[in-house]
Amino acid sequence: MTTASKPGINQRMLQAMGAIGDIEKAGHNDFHNYDFVRSTDVTREVRKALIEAGVAVHISTVGSDIQVVPGRDGKSSIMAVAWGTMAFVNVDDATDVIVDEWRGLAVDTSDKALAKATTSGLKYGLMNALLISSATTDGDANSPEVGDMRRQAADSFGDMYDGGYQSAPPPMTHSDAPVGDRCPDHNKPWRSNSRGWYCPTKVGDGWCQQHPSSEWQQAHER
């Protein structure tokens, strides 16, 4: 008499995907006036489906980064990026594993930016891994503030954040570069990333080509 083999991790993940339907956008952002899927709702539905399918989840945070971003009104915000992995493990065979990456970004005026980035990364990581959709249209699609933040994050973190936007160009070094603390074309403070100092203004399909002088950059090296 033969014993039926137990399902592997792919079959179990498929079972979990089939058990989770669309998740309603029960959260609402009053400031920007859009609805969103709450992380607690995603966690609850995913946990229930994975337990029934016999899948354990191990979540790890690999790294994070925080940057202070000057705002248009002179007030600074904290922008944080967090990233890591989530391993979906067959409870009957610990070697039968699927590992996905997650990454989250958040902007906040307090010390909660990193926690929000982690929560966002895990929420969307789980939704992508299990192909979870929301029951309504994506409010973020029509939110210019969110788009600006994503461009700003991609710009500030460069290669570290794969936001789908062009990174800032390398700094100029010629002697006739602007000397002041702001871009002469757009009156925005210079910003820096791993590639150097630049003006954070999108112009057409690229970026503003103004950069502070090499003397100014040397005086403001951190």
Give me the mean pLDDT over the 17-42 stretch: 89
Long-range CB contacts (< 8 A, 24+ apart) of 144-153? 145/32, 146/32, 149/79, 149/105, 149/107, 150/105, 151/202, 152/69, 152/79, 152/107, 152/200, 153/79, 153/81, 153/105, 153/107
Averaged confidence pLDDT in the chain = 77
- pLDDT reading at 129 higher than 90: yes
| pLDDT score of 178 | 45
| pLDDT score of 187 | 78
Banded pLDDT at 3 (limits 50, 70, 90): low
Give me the mean pLDDT over the 38-66 stretch: 95
Q: Which residue spans within the chain are E strands per DSSP?
A: 27-29, 34-36, 55-70, 76-90, 93-108, 191-193, 196-198, 202-203, 206-207
Banded pLDDT at 104 (limits 50, 70, 90): very high
More confident call, 220 vs 177: 220
Percentage, residues of the chain above pLDDT 90: 41
Banded pLDDT at 219 (limits 50, 70, 90): low
Which neighbouring-strand residues pair with 81?
Answer: 65, 105
Banded pLDDT at 125 (limits 50, 70, 90): very high
| pLDDT score of 163 | 37
| pLDDT score of 7 | 93
Taking 3-state DSSP, the helix, strand and coil percentages for the chain, each rounded to the nearest 5, stand at 30, 30, 40
Which candidate, 97, 12, 87, places its Cα nearest to that of 49?
Answer: 12
User: How many CA atoms lie within 13 Å of 105's alpha carbon, on the beta-carbon side?
Assistant: 19
User: How many CA atoms lie within 13 Å of 122's alpha carbon, on the beta-carbon side?
Assistant: 22
Where along the chain do its domains lie?
7-157, 169-222
- pLDDT reading at 141 higher than 70: no
Q: What is the CATH number of domain 7-157?
A: 3.30.390
More confident call, 141 vs 9: 9
Which candidate, 76, 17, 75, 27, places its Cα nearest to that of 49?
Answer: 17
Q: Render pLDDT for 161-214 as a digit per residue (tens, 0 to 9).
A: 333 333 333 444 433 444 567 778 777 787 776 566 777 787 776 677 777 776
